[in-house]
Amino acid sequence: MVNGLLLKKPGELTWGAVPAPEGLKEDEIKIRVIYGGICGSDVAVYKGKLTHAHYPVVAGHEILGEVIENGNQEAIQIGKRVVIQPNSYCGECEQCLSGNTNICNDKKSLGINNQGGFSEEFIISSKYVIEVPDEVTDERAVFIEPLAVIVHGFKKVPITKNTRVGIVGCGTEGMLAVATASYYGAKVTAIDVNSEKLSKAKEHYSDIEICLPDEVDENQFDIVFEVAGVKSAFEKSIDIVKPGGAIVVIGLAPMAEIPVVKLVRKEISIYGSIIYNVPDDFHKSIEFLSDDAFQIEPIISDILPVQQFAEAYEKAISGKCRKILLDFTR
């Protein structure tokens, strides 16, 4: 019997026995979970806000674990630490064949419409398992998946030393964008409605500027990342990007208004960016996290034993924290 966090329906999360398949197919790997990161999409599934979610579902997709069994001896060795690429893809459609597995029509996601990974152990096809190099600590490795989202967004635009980058939203993904832009030597301004989040950001990334949305003048940034996922943040991005600049939209605001005249006259480019291409974006993410100069330590708010999942979810839902990790080994 395997214990896990089962979301029976929106708002009803329990820790207990979850369905676990017997035996291992040749292409499969069994993983003992170490850490699970609670993501914005986990919160959305919990609240019943994702229309494509299926219940009951085992929650979670940001998983760091250790291989305890493999169906094929050629696969990743037992004892190695791994992370999961939690979005399935067919590998055969037009998008997959052009390397864009992230926009495969057949995509399913762990913890949303496929059984997730917040359990003591689980089995998954080796195709979705990526080995973590020994030099990356557990606390950094758990960011490989969420950072891959930012890596993908950064590929849309040219960012080098001194590019003026505005990042709207300072949650986990926003802070990972701050970390990445800082690593590139860009001139970074972090923008959020929560001044506490801003001062925390400034504490750890001393070379960035911080400001509330109302304090930002128009036409300031070469590149703006919209990572807040709210209507006003998207609309603000159009104001604050320079003429000729670009906006990368990672946040998922359901709807917003676009002042078309401004968009056209300023010649703004807007890029949507969803998750990542695998394995490339994961490999880049691992490369960043292997370098101690890539600073992400301030991004963890709390690490709680999985038995305290109710408190962990409450913190994640509050919107006041950054990454909350569940520890499955305690």
Sole residue written with tokens 């949507």: 272
Contact residue for Zn ion among 6, 57, 96, 124 (CB under 5 A): 96
> Count of residues for the chain?
330
Angle between helices 309-318 and 40-47 (to 10 degrees): 100
The window from 87-95, 110-118, 134-142, 194-202 that contacts Zn ion (CB under 5 A) reads 87-95
Closer residue to Zn ion in complex, CB, 80/108: 108
Structural contact between residues 8 and 302, judged by C-beta atoms closer than 8 angstroms = no
- Peptide bond between residue 56 and the one before it cis (omega within 30 degrees of 0): yes
- Parallel, antiparallel or unpaired: strands 12-18 and 2-9: antiparallel
CB of 273 to Zn ion, least distance (A): 14
- CA–CA separation, 94 vs 129, rounded Å? 23
Question: Is residue 247 close enough to count as binding Zn ion by CB under 5 A?
Answer: no
Question: Is residue 278 close enough to count as binding Zn ion by CB under 5 A?
Answer: no
Q: Where are the beta strands (DSSP E) in 59-203?
A: 62-70, 81-84, 121-125, 129-131, 164-168, 187-191
Question: Is residue 97 close enough to count as binding Zn ion by CB under 5 A?
Answer: no
Q: What DSSP element (H or E) covers 12?
A: strand 12-18
Closer residue to Zn ion in complex, CB, 39/178: 39
Question: Is residue 39 close enough to count as binding Zn ion by CB under 5 A?
Answer: yes
Closer residue to Zn ion in complex, CB, 37/245: 37
Contact residue for Zn ion among 17, 68, 90, 310 (CB under 5 A): 90
The window from 60-68, 74-82, 289-297, 313-321 that contacts Zn ion (CB under 5 A) reads 60-68
Contact residue for Zn ion among 31, 45, 63, 104 (CB under 5 A): 104
Contacting positions for Zn ion (CB under 5 A): 39, 62, 89-90, 93, 96, 104
